[in-house]
Structure formats: C-alpha cells, structure tokens
Structure 1
Amino acid sequence: MTSKRTISEINERIDNGEANIYTAEEFKKLIKKGDTPDFEDVDVVTCGTCGVMSGTAAILNFIVSEPGEFIRAREVYMNGVPAYAGPCPNEWLGSVDVILHGTAHSIHDENYGGGFLLKDLLEGREVDVVVKSVDGKTIRNTITIDDITRGQIIGARMAFKNYTAFTNPNAEPVSSIFAAIPLEGNLRGLTFSGCGDLNPLQNDIPHNAIKEGRKVLLNGTVGYILGDGTRSSAEKPNLMLSGDLTKMDPYYIGGFKTGQGGEIYDTVAIPIPVLNEEIYNNLLITDDMIDLPVADIKGRHLPLDNTDYDKMWTGHDLRPQYDRNKCLSCEKCIVEEVCPTNAFVKGSLNIAHCYGCGMCANYCKNDAFDMNTGDVDLTINGADVNVPIICRQSDRLRANKLSLKLKKMIENREFEL
C-alpha cells in the first residue's frame, strides 16, 4: 500500500511541533552519509535556487512631479535604465506606472542594468529619474524605495531546473550572456548555471507538490507561483513567480555583468511537502545523478560532452578568501573589471555583494584571491581535455540561506503550506 498524507495533516504536525523539516542541503547530506530518513520521518524539504534569471521584470508606480505638470510619460529612465511607461497612462497625475526589465541596460553604461538598479533601490540608494512626456517636457527627480507606492516583481521564467555548461572550443573569444566576460577560446574555461540537487524543480520533477497558487519565498519575501514560465517544458521546466518588491531583501537580488551587458539574479525557495512516496523518492536524487550537458557557447545547443553537478559543486569553495597583503593595487584592476556583481571595488571585497562566481580567483594576476572552483574532465572531438571551471552563474550559498530561512519560518508558523 502506498503511504499518503495531506497538507492539512502536515500543517497539524507543524502546529504541534512534531514535524520533521529539512533544508535540501541537510537532507542531501544525510543521503550522502548513508543516513537517509524514511518516508515517515520527513514532512517537508525546503529547496532553493539562486541564479541569473533573465525573465525578471518589475512593475512600479511612483510620483515624479506635482499633478498637472505634464500630460503623461512617453519615456522614463531610472539611473539611465529605460523603464517602459504604462500600461496605465496616469494623465496629469504627476505619477508614472512603468515596467522595468531586469535585462534592460543603462543608456550610459551597458554593464549597469535592471538588476543593479533594483538592488540600489532596495539598499536605500537614491535613483535619478528622467521623464520625457508626450507634450515635450522633460521632468527630472530623485526617488528612493520609500517613494515607490507599489512595486511588484513578476518573473516570467524563474527557478528553472538547472541548465547547461558552456565552453569555447573555437579559436576566438565569444561574448555571451552565459559568461561574465568574453569566454576565451581553445577550451580554456567552463561556465555553468544550476544549483544541482538543491533546486526545487529538480526535486519535484512531475510537479506533484509545486503547484499554481502555492506560496514560495522570492528574494526573501513571500511570493506566489502563477504557473509555468515561458518556454517551460516537461524536460526543462521553469516557473512564473510574483512577489512584492518593496518587501524583498537586497541580499537575494541584484545585477550580474555578462559579456552581453548587465543581467539580473534572483533567489527562490520552495517548500516541498512530502505527501506521498513518489514525492519522497524524487527527493532522493543527488548531484551525481543529475546530468549537466556541456555545449559550445557559440552554438549554445551544440552538445560537446556531458558531466554532472557533483563535479561542479562537491569539494569546491562557495566564497573566495581575499588576502589584502597580496593585492598590489594595480593601476587597472582586472578583478574590478571582471567581477560580475561589483563586489570588489578599490581594493575592498564586499562579501555581502559577492556571488561566489569564482572570477576573481581565476583572473587576479597576484593570486590575492584563494578559491577552489574546480575543473572537469571532458572528451571533446575525440580528445580528452581538462577544463577549469572559471565562472558560476548560480549561487548555492544564497540558495542554502533562503532555504534555511524558509524552514525556520515554517517551524515558527510564519509560513503556512
């Protein structure tokens, strides 16, 4: 007989302090140690992922002038980033409704975009706003997060079930959204995305527990699943999510520079109630069981070889160790140039802004950064090669932290399944 339980039964166990709740990291460690809890001993597993999620947009409303100063906005720029006016025209009100794309780039600097702008807002920084109206006026103002009367994130394609690794077998460097800077040729580096066995959709492949309308944590605050995301498929699922921007934690969202300009990263945690044995069995998957295709970054869909997430993450460091004594304050700092999140500025590492991508350790000429990001053995065009992992576009540390926050919220009955 197949064992089953309902969400109401699990919630009752949580209320009584009897529920066994694990983060995905805790649960997978037990599996790898050979101490896998039985079905009866697991009520909820909180799973998380953090990565570049290009489908992120924000819908914002804020006041830029006194009523009657202009008819309605035709163009809006926030720190030079275009924020598309509408859909509400707000005639003569002095306020604007805009849709800001996470992938939009500043007209002044393509490496500054929507992700960096939203982080700046959430960290309390002032943002310059320029409105060009349909009646030919230009309105200039400065706003902060406190001036946002309504702000909502809608992610059209989020929490995708891991992804693909890329390398460059070609002779010339290739610029791509899948590398922090143009990826050098002749197989000199590998970049990848995906949090492996922590990922919510990887742990609930048939969507037995992850359903439309269910609550999640999106960048640190409660959000909701709107349904499947754009380009979602059974093989490569992703979700459409939404949450209140103004309540989000800036630690979990931000900008990420790529070879094609600024992108945006988000962090998502989703609880998986263990309702039946099928859900439980799906949770038993570990990094070494999850295939990771390796593709030519120039072709993107041209398979070269296959590896797995165990080789990407196991035994590797999640953050760099910075030795200031080795920093020679170069006139042109390569780490400042390549750091995707601008965590390293003027000889100082802001660890709260660090994403653990590994670029600093792989590019610093003075070895001021110590970080084991690993390498992988591949067979490409019949030749065995060892390729260093030089850039991660996903962050397991943030994924783990948000999963742990979600676990504690459930235990404290601040988040009901």
Structure 2
Amino acid sequence: MSQATKTIQEINERIRKGTAVILTAEEMVDVVRAKGKSAAAREVDVVTTGTFSPMCSSGMLFNFGQEPPLIKASKVWLGNVPCHAGLAAVDAYLGCTEPSEDDPLNKVHPGRFLYGGGHVIEDLLRGKAVRLKCQAYGTDCYPRRELDKSVTLADLKSAELLNPRNCYQSYNVAVNTGSRVIYTYMGPLKPGMRNANYATAGQLSPLFNDPFLRTIGMGTKIWLGGGTGWVIGAGTQHNPKPQRNERGIPLTASGTLMLKGDMKGMSAKWVRGVSILGYGCSLSVGVGIPIPILDEEMAWFTGVSDADITMPVRDYGHDYPNGVNNVLAQPTFEELKSGEIAVNGQKVRTVPLTSYALSLEIAQELKAKIEKGEFLLTEAQDRIPSK
C-alpha cells in the first residue's frame, strides 16, 4: 500500500472551504490517462461513482406504530404482499422479490409476476396509500388480533431501505446455449445464444473504483435512493478472494455491500419496482459512493476504464442452474457496451440491465452535493475483507 498523501479530514476541510476538486469516475479516466496517477493524486480530492440496477437482495424494514388496542403482529401484508413479521410487535420486513398474493398476471401465467414488494416500496415513495393487513394470536399485553387499514410512508413510524446485498463487484454475463427461451433474473435469454444480458455500470461502478475496499467499509456515508445511506458491512455472498487482473479488477462476481438508509429522504426516481418477465419481481436501486483520493494508488484505481474491466460469460441454459462454473468468454465492459460480443466464435447481441445514463446522473448528482458542501466523507469504522 502506498503512503497516504491526504487524509479524509483534510479532504473534508477542502470541501468546507469550497476548494476541493471533485470528478466523476468517468471524468477521472481521462485525467489519469492524460496526466498519470501522480498528478491525478495531487490534483483530485474525490471521485464519485454511481450505479442504477436491479438489486434483488433489497427490502424495507419498517415499524407501523401502535394504536389501541395494541397488537403483536404475527402475519403482515403490505399491498397484499406478505412481509416477514418474526420481529417485535409492530416491526416487519418487506422483501422486494416477494410477489403479491393476488397478482392478476400470476393467476393466468404462473411465475410471471406483475406486482411485488419492490412495487410496494416504490408506491410508498410516490406518496401512495397501500393496504396494511395484520393478524395476531393475541396476548394479555397485546390483545388485538386483527388490523386492516391504509397507510402512507408518512404514516409509518420508521421505514429503512435495508439491503443485504447490493453493488456487486463484477457479475456474470448471461447467455443461453439451450434450445428454448429461458426466463431468469437476468431477463429472458433466447436460445442459441441470441442475446447476452449483463449488469453493473462499468467504470462508474463503486467497487471497480476501489477494488480492494481501501476506503469503503462499515460506516461509509453514501448516496442511496436519492437520500443519505450507509455501508453497514460486507454484503451476503461477499467473496474477498477472487481471481483478479493486473489492475485488481475481479474476473468473477466477488465483493458486495450491505446498505441502509432512511426511506423518508429518498425518491421514487431512484428506487423503482421491477417486473422481470417469467421470473418475478425486484427493485432497481440507485447507489453513489464517493472515493477519496488519498494517494497515487487510489488515483490509479479510480482511473479504471471500461476497457480495463472484463466480465465472465456463463451459460444459464445449462451450466448455471446445475452449479457448473464454466466461463465461455471474458469480454471487456467496453465490448459489452458496443452492443455485440464474440462467444465461441459467434457474434452475440448484448443487453444491459443497468442504466449507464442514470448511473452517470447519480455520480454527477453526488459530485454536485459535495461541491456545495452538502455531503462530507466519512472514515470507515471497520474494513471489509478484500484479499
């Protein structure tokens, strides 16, 4: 690890004075390429990243408050979507992939959900009222057995976006070598490898810009869903020891983050319910993470370009569902963005699940907040394993 040339405290002082130099990760690529990492480290203080993509391991932890007579809910539904209620009396968790029990599309075509937990979360952020239904077994201190009413986000005593696994550091490119269309969380995949679906925001993606998690850890303040959020640790399925290229970029799916933030400060523009044809429901989440340029090493990392990033192509028609980790190809993100890649000598059309345009808008919005002094950086309170 190279010797630090700046501290986060020094960078924050520059932000307060209005003298800090803030660039998006896209802008940093050109600076490092033109001037080198040493000059970039001297000139730049913060690089902002962003991603807007379906993140299935997301949900809302909420408390709906008490009213007499009191209740200890054992079963909870929001918008006819089942929630987990094995918590305290009026706490529950709504997972974004849980489908509505009365989804009209699912009744006609099982597995083709139209509405689910992610859509309930978006409806609440849009100020809509949703139906809250609770059942309870009744106790001396909590005698009520049923509750049925409409609630808005403002009515909830608290509502936290609590996401166990977000911001994957690299991910699979999904193809289908089979003979029929298959419906996956990566979207519909045509037979004979007629499309390749991929995710992440490439050079804008947070964990590509800090591949060894030097600055991102427990307690890192982030931009989440249009409001303020926090990294609360490693995400589930976090893999600290992937194979990497010479820039430290993982060759397979690896790092993940666990995130939280107060939904009452968020926007439905950046937290949207998703229906994935033939598979189910999800939630697209916007995340922006500032990377402090402490030294030359961090300048070098944040200078990563789409051409430096490769992603593994896997067969979801056979290998993936059977747990076979065979990699068919390793195209660059630049090639994926071009609209076509080569897999085993075959040209395959590529389809992004992540919006690069909205990811860039997030990085730009975070940049503007820092430049105005409205967003300061934080020291990570604990490292997330990375190697």
Q: Distance in 2 between matches of 1:19 and 1:167?
A: 44
Aligned: 1:287 with 2:306: yes
Please say if 1:42 is aligned against 2:44: yes
1:186 equivalent among 192, 200, 206: 192
Q: Which residue of 1 is the match for residue 116 of structure 2?
A: 113
Counterpart residue number, 1:277: 296
2:336 maps to 1:375: no
State whether structure 2 residue 229 is matched by structure 1 residue 223: yes
8 Å Cα contact 1:74/1:132 also seen in 2: yes
Aligned to 1:388: 349
SS in 1 for 2:124: helix
Alignment of 1:18-167 (within 5 A): 18-30=19-31, 34=34, 38-63=40-65, 66-68=67-69, 71-89=71-89, 96-109=90-103, 110-135=113-138, 137-167=145-175
TM (norm. structure 2) is: 0.83
Alignment of 1:252-331 (within 5 A): 252-258=270-276, 259-298=278-317, 299-300=319-320, 301-313=325-337
Cα distance between partner residues in 2 of 1:129 and 1:203: 41
Q: How far apart are the structure 1 equivalents of 2:72 and 2:334? A: 54
Task: Give the drift of 1:3.
Answer: 5.8
What residue identity is the alignment partner of 1:24?
A
The aligned residue for residue 251 of structure 1 is 269
Aligned length: 342
1:137 CA displacement: 4.8
Q: CA offsets, 1:193-215, max 9 Å, x none?
A: 11111111111111111121111
Bigger strand fraction = 1
Q: Structure 1, unaligned stretches of length 5 or more?
A: 90-95, 315-373
SS of the equivalent of 2:182 reads coil
* Letter of the structure 2 residue corresponding to residue 312 of structure 1: L
Matched letter for residue 132 of structure 1 = Q
Kept in 2: contact 1:162–1:195 (CA 8 A): no
> Partners in 1 of 2:53 and 2:192 — Cα distance?
26
SS of the residue 1:250 aligns to: coil
Q: Gapped runs of 5+ residues in structure 2?
A: 104-112, 139-143, 243-253, 378-387
Supply the AA of the counterpart residue of 1:376: I
User: What residue identity is the alignment partner of 1:113?
Assistant: G
Rounded Cα–Cα distance in structure 1 between residues aligned with 2:4 and 2:216: 19
Matches of 1:117 and 1:31, distance apart in 2:
43
Kept after mapping to 1: 8 A contact 2:221/2:229: yes
Higher RCO (CA 8 Å, separation ≥ 6 residues)? 2
- State the Cα distance separating 1:312 from its structure 2 match: 2.1
1:24-83 deviations in Å (ceiling 9; x for gaps):
122235556x4666321111101111212122121111248x411x64322111111111
RMSD over aligned CA atoms reads 2.0
**What one-letter code is carried by the residue in structure 2 that aligns with 1:143?**
V
Q: Which residue of 2 aligns with 1:15?
A: 16
The 1-side partners of 2:233 and 2:283 are apart by 21
Q: 2:185 aligns with which of 177, 190, 202?
A: 177
Change (3 A) 1:83 1:3: closer
Offset of residue 139 of structure 1:
3.1
Say whether the 8 Å CA contact 2:171–2:311 is kept in structure 1: yes
Counterpart of 1:335?
A: none
Partners of 1:71 and 1:248 lie apart in 2 by 29
Superposition TM-score, scaled by structure 1 size? 0.78
Q: Secondary structure at the match of 1:85?
A: coil
Identity, in percent, stands at 30
Aligned runs of 1:189-228 on 2, under 5 Å? Answer: 189-228=195-234
